[in-house]
Structure 1
Amino acid sequence: MDGKRRLDLSNMEIATFPKCILKLCDVDELDLSRNQLKKIPDTIDQFVKLRCLDLHSNHLEQIPASIGRLHNLYSLNLCNNHLTTPGLPHELGLLRNLGILNLGMNRIETLSPSMAALKELQELGLFNNLLTHLPKFLQNLPKLQKVNIRSNPIPTDDLEVDHIQRVECLYLVREECLCADCLNMCKKETERLEC
């Protein structure tokens, strides 16, 4: 054992955040993945020792601003939810120790500039979203090694892709490689946002 305390409540068909787990808020890892959660309460900030929070494969549309107070958080998995750009709080930028952030398989069009403060970030998952360009701040994240932007409608001539040369792994799918349905969905979302 490595001395870490892990609470695994994954794949249990949980629809509401169980308040009773607040009594166990001294855990290092909390896994609530593969459930039916639609909301995470503001009280998530009571897990002050939390280093790993896995919320992938739920029905989350937004993340509470209080998540920014989880200063020990190293890994945050929000993949495969219903998150949009407004559903991501600016307070994500307060997670100064965050090394791994997975936002893949959501409905995100752009990232908050506050995320430029994530200087410890090493891996960033943005695949299967609605991104039409890469945020400029990615090139200024000194420890960033892996960025997955696969299956986003980013044009092939996006200059920001060229500026992330030092990244070890940059996953990119050309617009013409997206299926017709995905491309149409992305174009409609882009048009809607430009109105």
Structure 2
Amino acid sequence: MAKGKGKGPKGKKITLKIARNSIRISPDGGRRLDLSKMGITTFPKCILKLADVDELDLSRNMLKKIPSSIEKFEKLRWLDLHSNQLEDLPKAIGTLQNLFYLNICNNKLTTKNLPEELTLLKNLHILNLGLNCLDSIPTSLGALKELKEIGLFDNALTTIPNSVKSLPNLKKLNAERNPFSDSTQQEEHADSIKRIETLHLVREKDLCSSCLKMCQDERDKLNKLNKLKNGTPSPPKKPSFPLLLTPNSPAKDNQKEWRLKDKHP
């Protein structure tokens, strides 16, 4: 009988030496432990001896579980767990009070397995929950008052709670490719995202000629669209553009960052 039959892949064994050699200095001077794309199937216990790092990257592995010992990383402000096989998170994640960035997209997380302790991360600015199996978002996430960006794309959401949409500092919310219950709700979500985006007002004289032409072309398109929609002629084109313009908002700037097309790009 063949040994090991039916068992999952063992994955790469991470030693303390390998972990130490994987520490990098981030642009702001912090210490980053980068163990991404190393075929890890089990959280390496040896890295608990390096728990004083500022950033931990375990993305693009085959991890199914994060142990409660993650609480040892008290200084951690940046945690990347995307593209693993996580089905839940430990309650201990709520002890990481310095956490600024948390990326857990492209896993197997369900709503019931999101720990309530996530709401304890009061310093969290960026949260990515995209590409999971979430059918709802806990209203308690509205307690994350410092949150500026949240990714909810590619889940099974039919609605987004107002407590999340109305977070005071929220600038970017990506909820694309969710089965919202009807077209009306989809329009409401689109409107809420538009309200979240930053709006820039500038004077005509502050735009370069190419930007000004682009804005004028956009206005012409809108006039034509209104004409077709209302069946009435659009007002004659004015020789000059209005003093206040609204250039494109940054809603699509980081779409490629949120959307992970492949587990192993």
TM range (shorter): 0.7 to 0.9
In structure 1, what is the Cα distance between the partners aligned to 2:131 and 2:70? 23
Gaps of 5+ in 1: 172-195
Give distance in 2, aligned partners of 1:147 and 1:166.
Answer: 10
Gaps spanning 5+ residues in structure 2: where?
A: 1-26, 198-249, 253-265
Q: Report how far residue 66 of structure 1 moved.
A: 0.7
Q: Which structure has the higher relative contact order (CA within 8 Å, separation 6+)?
A: 1
Instruction: State whether structure 2 residue 101 is matched by structure 1 residue 72.
Output: no
CA distance in structure 2 between the partners assigned to 1:48 and 1:97 by the alignment? 13
1:101-140 alignment runs, 5 A limit: 101-140=127-166
Instruction: Please tell me the residue identity of whatever aligns with 2:74.
Output: V
Percent identical: 59
Q: TM-score, normalised by structure 1?
A: 0.83
Of 161, 171, 186 in structure 2, the residue corresponding to residue 145 of structure 1 is 171
Q: Which amino acid counterpart does residue 166 of structure 1 have in structure 2?
A: R
Aligned residues: 171
The CA deviation at 1:156 is: 2.2
SS at match of 1:115: helix
1:181 is matched with which residue? none
**For the Cα contact (< 8 Å) 1:43–1:66, is it kept in 2?**
yes
The whole-number CA distance in structure 1 between the counterparts of 2:38 and 2:193 is 40
Q: In the aligned structure 1, how far is the partner of 2:46 from the partner of 2:165? A: 42
Report deviation, 1:29. Answer: 0.5
Partner Cα separation in structure 2 for residue 139 and residue 35 of structure 1: 32
Superposed, 1:155-166 pairs within 5 Å as 155-158=182-185, 160-161=188-189, 162-166=191-195
Which secondary structure does the structure 2 equivalent of 1:166 belong to? helix
The answer to whether the 8 A contact 1:91-1:114 is kept is no
1:30 aligned counterpart, secondary structure: strand
Contact 1:6 1:28 in 2 (8 A): yes
Displaced runs of 4 or more, over 4 A:
none
CA RMSD in angstroms, aligned pairs only: 1.5
Do structure 1's residue 46 and structure 2's residue 72 form an aligned pair? yes
Quickly say closer, same or farther: Cα 1:160–1:95, change in 2 above 3 A: farther
Q: Which residue identity is paired with 1:11?
A: K
Q: Does 1:58 align with 2:58?
A: no
CA-CA distance at 1:160 after TM superposition: 5.0
Which of 43, 49, 58 lines up with 1:17 in the alignment? 43
2:242 equivalent in structure 1? none
User: Is the 8 Å Cα contact of residues 149 and 170 (structure 1) preserved in structure 2?
Assistant: no
- Of 114, 118, 128, 1:88 maps to 114
Q: Which has the larger radius of gyration?
A: 2
